[in-house]
Amino acid sequence: MWFVRFLTSSIGKKLIMATSGLLLFLFLCTHVAGNATIFMSSKVFQGYANELHSHPLIVLTFSLGLLAVFLVHIVVGLYLFYQNRAVSNSRYAVCTRVVKNSFASETMPYTGLFLLAFLVVHIFGFTFSPKTVLISVTVKQLLSNFFYALFYILAFAALFIHLSHGFWSMLQTFGVNHPRYNILIARLTIIIPLFFFLVFAGVAFYFMTGLGASY
Amino acid sequence: MSSINLTLKIWRQPNSDALGAFETYLLDGIHTDMSFLEMLDVLNEKLTKEGRDPVAFDHDCREGICGMCGAVVNGVAHGPEKEVTLCQLHMRHFQSGDILVIEPFRSRAYPIKKDLLVDRSALDRIIQAGGYVSVNTGGTPDGNSLPIPSQQAELAMDAAACIGCGACVASCPNGAAMLFTSAKISQLALLPQGQVERKTRALAMVAQMDEEGFGNCTNARECEAVCPKGISIRNIARMNKEFLRAVLAEG
Ligand code: HEM
Ligand code: FES
């Protein structure tokens, strides 16, 4: 049974993390494009939202699929975290990290859990918001609250940190490691998460500061 | 020849079952041309003369090729210098007055035998799990009858540089043995001689690695940073591909 062998092996679980991470990353690409319409005007944004929700079957299928991907990513991630904790750093009296900038890789489970908390707030705030209010109005209402917007910005900072290790790590796990491309990959591992941060957090900043008061 | 004075804090543990503890030793007049192991020899001579138990540590070639030596010095496997084994680390890299904390390579899969001496036979069992390489016997093959592109040969040689010291496991925050196993899988997977058993080898070695109780890689890169032979994590990337291909093909 190749599937059992795959699931029970260390490398198989690693590949599941990378695959679910890739799917989440692709989801973020579509999400960031949708959010960017906010900067055009509330009309464009509302138009995008209406268009999306005029296909309820597509929305439902993608939502359920996304939920499954998140569950896999979180469950396998936490399983690996607890398994690895059994052999953690504390085994030495003096522990020195030789690799520079290891902050992101050391904090993967914590930035991940913070993202989970954000997701709960985010889904209850927007996905399950009252259907009588236009979504373009809800976005402005919620994000005009200073602390709500600040929480969003912090969550996107956590996403930046998570992906500043995760993007490279995903490619390494898939076996993409070649001297010809490694510098490019290292650059993309900063540029892509930074792009997500600027657009996602930019929306929160836009309403928080009142810049988008008349959007 | 200059000399330095050191304070050593060394992990002492009489046997696998005993509780260990650090002991502190003051060592004066260590010549800076000595290797780290020679410095430990000086300590052991002193301890022997005083009628105390010398510090047990592994070593053999003392020229950085056998992979027997190794300890964690101030939190870094094989000490602070890049790409050297403990036996090739020289005391000129330390200063008088330094405090050196010396601990054994630790892993769930490395039982401590005594002091700095650990049982790394788990690594041998991973190699054994890889099995044999099928070759046609008969007359000596003609030179160049089996052409290997030079790039491929270089990559295989880079992987084969692994001396199996186990520092990668000792330094990995998760205690994973992926760098070691990937080097051993790569050196054969890259060569024509390794093709017959390529898939079964990858599956068997990964299965043995998991069975020994090593941790899961999270791409922290510490292994590659301390490896005395500079083995690259590119080998781990290759192993992941080898494993995936083998799982899908062999079931
Ligand atoms: C939008 C949300 C998220 C995205 C885009 C994302 C993306 C990624 C990517 C690309 C990786 C690298 C996979 C690899 O190492 O091969 C990763 C790793 C990881 N993620 Fe996420 N993730 C997200 C949310 C979460 C959440 C909610 C958790 C909750 C616990 C989490 C926990 C982890 C952990 C623990 C790892 C490390 C796995 C390892 O290093 O082996 N992530 N993530
Ligand atoms: S004793 Fe042989 S590598 Fe150090």
pLDDT in tens, A65-96: 999 999 999 999 999 999 888 776 678 999 89
Residues of B in contact with A10 (CB under 8 A): 176, 178, 206, 209-210, 214-217
Q: Where are the domains of chain B?
A: 3-113, 121-135+149-250
B219 and A168 in contact by Cβ < 8 A? Answer: yes
Q: What is the CATH number of domain B121-135+149-250?
A: 1.10.1060.10
pLDDT for the residue numbered A71: 97
pLDDT for the residue numbered B227: 98
- Give the mean pLDDT of chain A: 94
Could you give the CA distance from residue B122 to residue B111 in angstroms, rounded to a whole number?
10
Atom 3 of ligand 2, residue of closest alpha carbon: B64
pLDDT for the residue numbered A94: 92
pLDDT for the residue numbered A3: 86
Q: Indicate the residue type of A111.
A: T
Phi-psi region of B175 (alpha: psi -120 to 50; beta: other; left: phi over 0): left
**What angle separates helix B198-211 from helix A10-36, to the nearest 10 degrees?**
90
Q: Where are the domains of chain A?
A: 2-208
The answer, yes or no, to whether residue A1 has pLDDT greater than 80, is no
Cβ of B155 closer than 6 Å to ligand 2, yes or no, is no
Q: What is the CATH number of domain A2-208?
A: 1.20.1300.10
pLDDT in tens, B60-79: 999 999 999 999 999 999 99
Could you give the CA distance from residue B43 to residue B118 in angstroms, rounded to a whole number?
20
Could you give the CA distance from residue B57 to residue B22 in angstroms, rounded to a whole number?
15
Longest dimension (CA), chain A: 60
Core vs surface per residue B203-230: b (16+ CB within 10 A) or e: bbbbbbbbebebbbbbbbbbbbbbbbbe
pLDDT for the residue numbered A91: 87
Instruction: Mention every residue, 6+ apart, whose C-beta is less than 8 A from residue B95.
Output: B4
Radius of gyration of chain A (CA): 19
How much of chain A is in helix, strand and coil states, percent to nearest 5?
A: 80, 0, 20
pLDDT in tens, B191-246: 998 999 999 999 999 999 999 999 999 999 999 999 999 999 999 999 999 999 99
Among the CATH numbers 3.10.20.30, 1.20.1630.10, 3.40.50.460, 3.30.43.10, which is that of B3-113? 3.10.20.30
B22 and A93 in contact by Cβ < 8 A? Answer: yes
The answer, yes or no, to whether residue B1 has pLDDT greater than 70, is no
Q: Token digits for A64?
A: 């359920």
B243 and A9 in contact by Cβ < 8 A? Answer: yes
Decide: A196 and A31 in contact? Cβ < 8 Å. no
In chain B, DSSP assigns E strands to: 3-12, 21-31, 72-73, 76-77, 99-103, 112-114, 117-118
In this prediction, residues A121-143 reach a mean pLDDT of: 92
Could you give the CA distance from residue B39 to residue A55 in angstroms, rounded to a whole number?
75
CA–centroid distance, B86 to ligand 2, in Å, is: 7
A87 and B207 in contact by Cβ < 8 A? Answer: no
Higher pLDDT, B99 or A102: B99
Percent of chain B residues past pLDDT 70, beyond the cut: 99
Minimum-distance ligand to the CA of B236? Answer: 1
The answer, yes or no, to whether residue B251 has pLDDT greater than 70, is no
This model's pTM is above 0.90: yes
Residues with CB under 6 A from ligand 1: A 14, 17-18, 21, 24-25, 28, 73-74, 77-78, 80-81, 108-109, 112-113, 115-116, 162, 166-167, 169-170, 173; B 218-219
ipTM for the complex shown: 0.93
Could you give the CA distance from residue A36 to residue A105 in angstroms, rounded to a whole number?
29
pLDDT for the residue numbered B135: 80
Residues of B in contact with A93 (CB under 8 A): 9, 11, 22, 101, 103
CA–centroid distance, A88 to ligand 1, in Å, is: 19
**What angle separates helix A10-36 from helix A146-173, to the nearest 10 degrees?**
140
Phi, psi of B35 (to 5 degrees): -85, 170
Could you give the CA distance from residue A149 to residue A212 in angstroms, rounded to a whole number?
13
Q: Token digits for A22?
A: 């890739």
Minimum-distance ligand to the CA of B166? Answer: 2
Work out the minimum CA distance from B136 to partner chain A, whole angstroms. 31
In this prediction, residues A110-120 reach a mean pLDDT of: 97
Could you give the CA distance from residue B161 to residue A155 in angstroms, rounded to a whole number?
44
The answer, yes or no, to whether residue B36 has pLDDT greater than 80, is yes
Higher pLDDT, B171 or A210: B171
Q: Token digits for A94?
A: 């003096």
A10 and B72 in contact by Cβ < 8 A? Answer: no
Could you give the CA distance from residue B189 to residue B171 in angstroms, rounded to a whole number?
26
Tell me how crowded residue A106 is: count the other CB atoms within 10 A of its CB.
Answer: 15
- Give the mean pLDDT of chain B: 95
